Amino acid sequence: MGSRASTLLRDEELEEIKKETGFSHSQITRLYSRFTSLDKGENGTLSREDFQRIPELAINPLGDRIINAFFSEGEDQVNFRGFMRTLAHFRPIEDNEKSKDVNGPEPLNSRSSKLHFAFRLYDLDKDDKISRDELLQVLRMMVGVNISDEQLGSIADRTIQEADQDGDSAISFTEFVKVLEKVDVEQKMSIRFLH
């Protein structure tokens, strides 16, 4: 199956994806194989339904938010390159990457890119702030009915109160980053991809 994946993926396309995402040749080939196995329509793209068949996403309380992250605004299909770009946010940062070219584009798996990705999971209306209602929706997704609405409201209020520095009753990206400055985002937002 690996040979099929490499024949369907042109060498120059493989090199471009490798450069853009930081994945190795063998990781890209393996992920291409996984992509094609998920592509039930066999049209070179994945739909939301294709992602919903992944058991780990189906049981994840934020599964729908994670699935949505793979799709551009107004799109209902994602090609292999878009799939790889999103997965690259979860690629661990290797020791040799910490001193990358400062003039080049920021890697998709950098701390800043990971934080932007996480922020977008909460910013449901894409207005560049996390409101109390958005925070409540995400908290509700995460805890379900295990906590009362009153308790959730209290958690949301306290979170916004602690993070909100400009008094607009919402969390901006800058405030989000400040709250997470001591959190090892690079490690917590990483998935081990086989080499």
82 and 136 co-located in one domain? no
Question: What CATH number does residue 29 fall under?
Answer: 1.10.238.10
82 and 124 co-located in one domain? no
Residue 16 lies in a domain: yes
76 and 139 co-located in one domain? no
CA distances, 60 to each of 26, 63, 64, 67, 155 (Å): 28, 5, 8, 11, 21
80 and 121 co-located in one domain? no
> Which pTM value belongs to this model?
0.80
Rg (CA), the chain: 19
Say what angle helices 11-21 and 25-38 make with each other, to 10 degrees.
100
113 and 150 co-located in one domain? yes
The overall average pLDDT reported for the chain is 87
pLDDT tens column, 124-143: 999 999 999 999 999 998 88
How many Å apart are CA 87 and CA 57, to the nearest integer? 14
pLDDT tens column, 78-117: 999 999 999 999 898 775 555 555 566 788 888 999 999 9
The number of domains in the chain is 2
Residue 54 lies in a domain: yes
* Domain range enclosing 120: 108-189
The last residue of one of the domains, among 59, 89, 119, is 89
83 and 16 co-located in one domain? yes
Helix, strand, or coil (residue 183)? coil
Whether residue 156 contacts residue 164, with contact meaning beta carbons closer than 8 Å, is answered with: no
